[in-house]
Chain A
């Protein structure tokens, strides 16, 4: 990571978010911390419902309150704690300095406005561009994300684009004001595999051109392997493993991560052809987590796992820059970690 690693652009500490629902308090995010260095791509991986989206939305106060409540934590960006900003102030970060891409391109654009209008909105709002300037820039952006005959498509409505093309429009909107950080919440999950590959290619390409810092959320470790510098694995609202991308694939140390890796095609240990899934149910987030959330499904679980929640700590004797896990057990020896 070199020198770049020394300059964190983004520091999240102990973020906790709960959602007040009719069924009770959902503990969606239970103390997430991470740092981002300039130009780095952090992949956040975890199965559906593990709190990835809630984490990212919390960073920019994008969750509706109620039901959401951020009960602790800090998010430092450009010397300010984003969680303490008023709605009026945080607006100048959203879209302007931090771009957001959402999961479902079919629903994330407003159906009654042209894509041109929707791309021009942040340009006019944050950069104070005139209509004409914004129009020109919108065409450039559409070209940048690879939409053919961009100038003619400005007046088209979202429903006139395919899913992949719509996601490109969403990316164009996110990039419109040259943000420092881009948060992409499962941007390819809703797309066909081939389109998914195209979008990934586009992002790799854009990253090289624009040198952005990116948080890329996915439930697919395979995708993370392809683009990330660093990977954070989430389970039940906790970060359970956090390491450089090579390290996590070569040397996974949390039972959940290694189970996830087993489910990847080409990783079958017994040469089984079919995709495998992890046995058991994801945790019920309404119950306040006091023990390790993965313990009920864990092959290595011991008494302490069911009593106390392990903290995220660095593992010893690793040659990676960063490698932290939240687990009581050393899965290589099967005994407790020191």
Chain B
């Protein structure tokens, strides 16, 4: 298992290099101009100077190599310095990946926005899973029952109605009509006591619900079909013939097998949590990573978009590995040698 993990991690390096190159190249090819948003009165020479200052004068391979150095060497060094409060080399002159729009290091922007995304999107993911698993199990066990029909119907809705629609419907009802919940997420809110905690809960409620519904719908469908696959297996009949409680048969024997593919799917979905639910964050004004990406794209802030996209790619590769490893842990038949 350890060998396998190391092999996979080593293999991930060239994969990620190729991905980083493709991301870099595509964004470089995109017809965007960092000075495009500046007032028209600024003369062309000044614009050229600005571009020069951003490093755009250099040829593509140089810029790519520089970005690689900044991202893979300078940023980690910087991070270590911050964590351990030490100084490694000439840190003052070390170049970092810098946003064109704000002139601040991209990584700092990301770190700043990470908590909101993790709270709102992460919470909705966890909540979605917690709702989905029991619903999937019961729906499968009582296939075609009223519970199953309602569950399937809600799943269909959660799955097929886009989050921007459910989000807006909720805002219209609970913020505009009833005035119970705020429609704008306040990032500056500090949770210090019960009232502020309650405020935080209230502002998280709608975005979390919208995303949780979507996640739950997906996972519940998976759980249900995985349970159905297993409920008809011979080993279930054996378990019943042994005189085990129905509860044990379903929740130990069947569930343990059914969870294998579901856990994999859940692990594969985690990068999306970090990616933030772009649309939902936008609707509820949660200034998380999804919103950051949108701002970057709108402002043609190439370094920001490159870095964010690449981080998502890293997470996807990483969680693919995690999913494979989990599979190996959960299923004794899988051997990684």
- Cβ-defined contact, B243 with A87, below 8 A: no
- Is A272 an interface residue, CB under 8 A from the partner? no
- Is A125 an interface residue, CB under 8 A from the partner? yes
Per-position contact with A for B229-262: 1 when CB-CB < 8 Å, else 0? 0000111011111111110100001001100100
- Cβ-defined contact, A95 with B242, below 8 A: yes
Partner of A107, one of B235, B244, B245: B235
- Cβ-defined contact, A122 with B244, below 8 A: yes
- Cβ-defined contact, A157 with B333, below 8 A: yes
**B256 partner residues in chain A, CB cutoff 8 A:** 110, 112-113
Per-position contact with B for A92-123: 1 when CB-CB < 8 Å, else 0? 11111000101010011111110000000110
- Cβ-defined contact, A111 with B242, below 8 A: no
A208–B76 Cα distance when bound, in Å, is: 74
Q: A95-B242, A125-B243 are in contact. Are A108 and B237 (CB under 8 A)?
A: yes
- Cβ-defined contact, A94 with B330, below 8 A: no
- Cβ-defined contact, B234 with A107, below 8 A: yes
**B243 partner residues in chain A, CB cutoff 8 A:** 91-96, 122, 125-126
Partner of A121, one of B244, B257, B330, B331: B244
Per-position contact with A for B162-174: 1 when CB-CB < 8 Å, else 0? 0000000000000
- Is B332 an interface residue, CB under 8 A from the partner? yes
Name the interface residues of A290-307: CB closer than 8 Å to any CB of B: none
Q: Which residue of A lies closest to B254 (CB)?
A: A110
**A91 partner residues in chain B, CB cutoff 8 A:** 243-245
- Cβ-defined contact, B238 with A125, below 8 A: no
- Cβ-defined contact, A157 with B241, below 8 A: no
- Cβ-defined contact, A109 with B235, below 8 A: yes
**B330 partner residues in chain A, CB cutoff 8 A:** 112
Name the interface residues of B318-337: CB closer than 8 Å to any CB of A: 330-333
**B235 partner residues in chain A, CB cutoff 8 A:** 107-111
Q: A91-B245, A104-B234, A122-B244 are in contact. Are A110 and B239 (CB under 8 A)?
A: yes
A32–B330 Cα distance when bound, in Å, is: 44
- Cβ-defined contact, B238 with A111, below 8 A: no
A11–B234 Cα distance when bound, in Å, is: 27
Size of B's binding interface in residues, CB under 8 A: 22
- Cβ-defined contact, A87 with B246, below 8 A: yes
Q: Which residue of B lies closest to A92 (CB)?
A: B243
Partner of A111, one of B237, B245, B246, B257: B257
Partner of A157, one of B239, B245, B260, B332: B332
- Is A83 an interface residue, CB under 8 A from the partner? no
**B241 partner residues in chain A, CB cutoff 8 A:** 60, 62, 94-95, 100, 102
Interface contact tally, CB-CB below 8 A: 76
Name the interface residues of B199-256: CB closer than 8 Å to any CB of A: 233-235, 237-246, 248, 253, 256
A157–B333 Cα distance when bound, in Å, is: 8
**B234 partner residues in chain A, CB cutoff 8 A:** 102, 104, 107-108
Task: State the main secondary structure of chain B at its contact with A.
Answer: helix
**B331 partner residues in chain A, CB cutoff 8 A:** 111-112
Partner of A62, one of B240, B244, B248: B240
**A224 partner residues in chain B, CB cutoff 8 A:** none
Q: A62-B237, A111-B235 are in contact. Are A94 and B333 (CB under 8 A)?
A: no
Per-position contact with B for A159-189: 1 when CB-CB < 8 Å, else 0? 1000000000010010000000000000000
A72–B279 Cα distance when bound, in Å, is: 60
| Residue with the greatest number of chain A CB neighbours at <10 A, chosen from B234, B238, B240, B253 | B238
Per-position contact with B for A75-92: 1 when CB-CB < 8 Å, else 0? 000000000000100011
**A107 partner residues in chain B, CB cutoff 8 A:** 233-235
Partner of B242, one of A87, A104, A112, A173: A173
- Cβ-defined contact, B333 with A121, below 8 A: no
A108–B246 Cα distance when bound, in Å, is: 17
A93–B240 Cα distance when bound, in Å, is: 11
A125–B235 Cα distance when bound, in Å, is: 17
- Cβ-defined contact, B333 with A159, below 8 A: yes
- Cβ-defined contact, B253 with A110, below 8 A: yes
A170–B239 Cα distance when bound, in Å, is: 11
- Cβ-defined contact, B242 with A121, below 8 A: yes
Per-position contact with A for B295-306: 1 when CB-CB < 8 Å, else 0? 000000000000
Within the complex, the shortest CB–CB distance from B156 to chain A, in Å, comes to 24
- Cβ-defined contact, A170 with B238, below 8 A: yes
Per-position contact with B for A120-132: 1 when CB-CB < 8 Å, else 0? 0110011000000
A157–B331 Cα distance when bound, in Å, is: 10
Q: A107-B235, A109-B235, A112-B332 are in contact. Are A122 and B253 (CB under 8 A)?
A: no
A279–B93 Cα distance when bound, in Å, is: 92
Q: Which residue of B lies closest to A126 (CB)?
A: B243
A113–B240 Cα distance when bound, in Å, is: 15
A102–B242 Cα distance when bound, in Å, is: 12
**B244 partner residues in chain A, CB cutoff 8 A:** 91, 95, 121-122, 125
A110–B256 Cα distance when bound, in Å, is: 10
**A112 partner residues in chain B, CB cutoff 8 A:** 256-257, 260, 330-332
List residues of chain A with CB under 8 Å of any chain B CB: 57, 60, 62, 87, 91-96, 100, 102, 104, 107-113, 121-122, 125-126, 157, 159, 170, 173
Query: 16 new A-B pairs (CB below 8 Å) besides A57-B237, A94-B242, A121-B244?
Result: A62-B237, A94-B240, A95-B242, A102-B234, A102-B241, A110-B238, A111-B235, A111-B331, A112-B331, A112-B332, A121-B239, A122-B243, A125-B244, A157-B332, A157-B333, A159-B332
Please list 26 pairs of residues, one from A and one from B, whose beta carbons are closer than 8 Å in the complex, sorted by A's number. Answer: A57-B237, A62-B237, A62-B240, A91-B244, A94-B241, A95-B242, A100-B238, A100-B242, A102-B234, A104-B234, A107-B235, A108-B234, A110-B238, A110-B253, A110-B257, A112-B256, A112-B257, A112-B260, A112-B330, A112-B331, A113-B256, A122-B243, A125-B244, A159-B333, A170-B238, A173-B242
List residues of chain B with CB under 8 Å of any chain A CB: 233-235, 237-246, 248, 253, 256-257, 260, 330-333
- Sorted nearest first, the 3 A-B pairs with minimum C-beta distance are A95-B243, A94-B243, A100-B241
